[in-house]
Amino acid sequence: EAQVTQNPRYLITVTGKKLTVTCSQNMNHEYMSWYRQDPGLGLRQIYYSMNVEVTDKGDVPEGYKVSRKEKRNFPLILESPSPNQTSLYFCASSLFGRLNYGYTFGSGTRLTVV
């Protein structure tokens, strides 16, 4: 089954404790992206990647890191999480240059930072 897999689904952590949210897709998509979703603000892009070893900042990259060492994986790293990073996070993928096909989203990660 074609899908984007995110883990974990739920995570509660403390301020400053480094964490990684994993994202993997099995559709051979070049383009992958991370979004956060907050009430009233909609989906805001954090980082995106057009292919292996090619990443770029989205609208809200502060406090986040990403890497793209393999085509299928695009982990999101929070080096020192803070409470304002409490949010619902989505990974998404698409064929590069063919965004007119839309995104496939992962099932989401609800992160709480206390």
Partner 1 sequence: QKEVEQNSGPLSVPEGAIASLNCTYSDRVSQSFFWYRQYSGKSPELIMSIYSNGDKEDGRFTAQLNKASQYVSLLIRDSQPSDSATYLCAVNLVNNNDMRFGAGTRLTVKP
* Sites of contact with partner 1 (CB under 8 A): 33, 35, 40-43, 45, 48, 50, 58, 90, 97, 99-108, 110
Q: What minimum distance in Å lies between the beta carbon of 112 and partner 1?
A: 14
**Nearer to partner 1 among residue 35 and residue 64 (C-beta):** 35
Residue ranges of the alpha helices (H) in the chain? none
Q: CA dist 22 to 3, 5, 101, Å?
A: 14, 8, 24
Give the SS3 label for residue 39: coil
Q: What minimum distance in Å lies between the beta carbon of 18 and partner 1?
A: 25
Q: What minimum distance in Å lies between the beta carbon of 43 and partner 1?
A: 4
CA–CA distance, 4 with 109 (Å, rounded to integer) = 12
**Nearer to partner 1 among residue 33 and residue 85 (C-beta):** 33
Instruction: Quickly count: other Cβ atoms within 10 Å of residue 102's Cβ.
Output: 9
**Nearer to partner 1 among residue 14 and residue 27 (C-beta):** 27
